[in-house]
Structure 1
């Protein structure tokens, strides 16, 4: 057993921050937490023979890893560029071409995916839901890279039997469905020889969005999902006005209805964005158990007419986590997603307050603690990972060590400055908030997934 002793912090429920000061946390050989107690009452410290203790020094703390619910792995190729067009034009000019290039060049794909894995670890993301490309072999490579890096990754081979870029689509509906089945089988085979707790990569059924899927294809994917109750599903839903209008013109329906009729709105589904959903649609997501990947940064570029109704979704009981949406969002750091989520929600609060001439009591903003929940435990719940995103006996030890103060110099680390440091550093909500607002990768010392140190 590995024993950690020090301060822990997590958000087990929305809006609640628990600081566990001077705790002992025990992790077994399979990477699960088997002991959690205050050091003053922990029998592990008095055991014979004594356990080896890994101390988390004062001024540092353990936090659950971040979970990124929406990231396009091949688009990491052009991260931070090409954000000048509306969504549908942007896809043609940038996204499809980059994905096609990745599919055509295995060496390039490995370089991009290896760099992406390193950046995820650097920024404390130990769990990620990934969109890939249409070629099965390239997505298997993506799965291999994530497994080798030790990241808990859910990999989606794109299903696209339609496309505005004719060179980048699958040859037909039957071929697309067969490719999806093959990828699911082959992805699982990658880790089949490993013990269950070391199988970090899983396949995800991934119709890109309604404009790139025929009704026949979506129905076929729905049948695959019904046949396999462990299979997760992901797509994009009601992201941008031009996309919503496209679906209405082409299908004569809302895209939520298209997904629902294909039986693709399930309690294993994560839908990205959802900015243009009405309250009744949010209620439908809750009824179906479908989760939302909220991507506030990319929404600023592609959903500028409307922000995602985050507070309304949470109040409706919808499962929500955060996504970076690389490369529609330019930052791979979930901390930026958390901060943007709060900023956008506060703007919404001000807009509604002004519209109600100062009389509104409706709350639409979220605070930093709620955002921290969304970036950790909320993402895990959205993925059906009940034993992740928090510190509790039986949960996976997926954690990051955050260093706030250097014990030698007694100075803040990175961009953090402290002016009233006592002889004994006590972790408080105020200190965690300071890190949440202005901390960065310099504060991240170590990262573990399933008990294994990966960074």
Structure 2
């Protein structure tokens, strides 16, 4: 926790439970979990300058959202129920052409508020004006891996521009020296980035030892076009360029075949499952979860952007993921609640490099306190089942990130200012796009 002068302060959470066991949690001044016990000893207890009453709550590790376009929160509800290419060409791309850095700042701040409210404290983001996104994350107090969406469309001059933008972002984020914010490279997809661009991104990410965030095999058309143009499927194209690594997070992956899954496993690549967005945009196939698990691919959860989801609630995403896989596989045992929760906590947190995703001593204090006395948690036969199938983000009461309280008892400092400025930014963006279209 941090006091009004910005000093780190040790913190004690009392009265909460972990998996039905009453506990107290001590967090030291570095934001690390120092002790978890039924009763923290007097000597350790005396180190805590701040006490958080967790009575009537369940303590859990916070969630990690591995695929977002956070600033697209400004586009929430702007264009729904449309064919994918029409949605992009007629609505999303014209609006994005009018984006400013201020739009991205307030859109990302809005996204951070929404994620905090639903227990997410780490996310993986690809968009534009990402220096402003980094500033927003810094102010919000949570964690993110950020990349510039690299799109060169096989154009040499545009590729040089995208290279400079990528380098500038990485330099900017590293210069912040904020351990909560990491840079990555962001090849948009095999159909928007040239082989030369992919190869440069792979080499640059290796030299900088940073992550790679890419859209992969989202639609059947993407796969068919790749095979027609290169004779290879999208994962093979990325692999040839060096973009499939153990630092890579590939989003969507709905149209993988079994050989694709084995290739991802061999390279140590992580997949981000985005069921709500993919269902809403009708990509016509569920991500092949059983094949990925069988091959040994780490699978995480993402929401995608608010223009195609339309929220950032990973509790909701856990349920949709589990239900979609059961339906698609005609198997009610596919993707059980425990695996869905692990995707959103352990696997996602580890994929982003922000810890183990577990509430254990020595790990960052990324903690959410969930209200026990709400209908979705009554009765509480199986906590994990309730978290995945019954609750949504509204059950979250208090959230800590690296030991800092970013929401307490439902209150986020500065939330009203963010909502007002994000609303203004969204209205101004739509107005500018309409003026440009005339």
TM over 0.5: yes
2:132 is the counterpart of 1:132: no
What residue in structure 2 maps to residue 217 of structure 1? 197
What residue in structure 1 maps to residue 240 of structure 2? 261
Q: How does 1:170-249 map to 2 (within 5 A)?
A: 171-189=157-175, 191-192=176-177, 198-229=178-209, 231-249=210-228
Is contact 1:86–1:242 with CA below 8 Å preserved after alignment?
no
TM superposition shift of 1:400? 1.0
Q: How does 1:237-316 map to 2 (within 5 A)?
A: 237-302=216-281, 304-316=283-295
TM superposition shift of 1:173? 1.9
Please give the TM-score of this superposition, normalised by the length of structure 2.
0.84
TM superposition shift of 1:331? 2.2
Structure 1 residues 55 and 224, CA gap change in structure 2 (3 angstroms): closer
What residue in structure 2 maps to residue 157 of structure 1? 148
What residue in structure 2 maps to residue 396 of structure 1? 364
What residue in structure 1 maps to residue 425 of structure 2? none
SS at match of 1:306: coil
Residues 16-67 of structure 1 deviation map (CA, whole Å, 9 limit, x = unaligned):
xxx161223221111111222343xx5x246585756736544311111111
Give the Cα separation in 2 of the matches to 1:287 and 1:94: 39
What residue in structure 1 maps to residue 404 of structure 2? 452
Is contact 1:397–1:449 with CA below 8 Å preserved after alignment?
yes
Give the Cα separation in 1 of the matches to 2:118 and 2:377: 20
TM superposition shift of 1:249? 2.9
Q: How does 1:15-414 map to 2 (within 5 A)?
A: 19=19, 21-39=21-39, 42=40, 44-45=41-42, 51=48, 54=51, 56-102=53-99, 105-133=100-128, 138-162=129-153, 171-189=157-175, 191-192=176-177, 198-229=178-209, 231-302=210-281, 304-326=283-305, 327-350=307-330, 365-385=334-354, 387-405=355-373, 413=374
Is contact 2:319–2:389 with CA below 8 Å preserved after alignment?
yes
Please give the TM-score of this superposition, normalised by the length of structure 1.
0.81
TM superposition shift of 1:81? 4.3
SS at match of 1:401: strand
Give the Cα separation in 1 of the matches to 2:377 and 2:238: 49
TM superposition shift of 1:435? 4.8
SS at match of 2:21: strand
SS at match of 1:216: helix
Give the Cα separation in 2 of the matches to 1:323 and 1:50: 38
Q: Which runs of 5+ in 1 are unaligned?
A: 10-18, 164-168, 193-197, 354-362, 406-412, 421-427
Structure 1 residues 49 and 158, CA gap change in structure 2 (3 angstroms): closer
Give the Cα separation in 1 of the matches to 2:206 and 2:281: 32
What residue in structure 1 maps to residue 415 of structure 2? none
What residue in structure 1 maps to residue 414 of structure 2? none
Structure 1 residues 27 and 93, CA gap change in structure 2 (3 angstroms): same
TM superposition shift of 1:328? 2.4
TM superposition shift of 1:264? 0.6
Q: Which runs of 5+ in 2 are unaligned?
A: 1-9, 408-438
Give the Cα separation in 2 of the matches to 1:89 and 1:276: 21
SS at match of 1:130: strand
SS at match of 2:98: helix
- Superposed CA RMSD in Å reads 2.4
SS at match of 1:101: coil
Is contact 1:312–1:364 with CA below 8 Å preserved after alignment?
no
Give the Cα separation in 1 of the matches to 2:78 and 2:292: 31
Aligned match for 2:376, one of 403, 416, 427: 416
Residues paired across the two proteins, number = 397
Give the Cα separation in 1 of the matches to 2:45 and 2:372: 34
Structure 1 residues 250 and 381, CA gap change in structure 2 (3 angstroms): same
Give the Cα separation in 2 of the matches to 1:52 and 1:319: 39
2:20 is the counterpart of 1:4: no
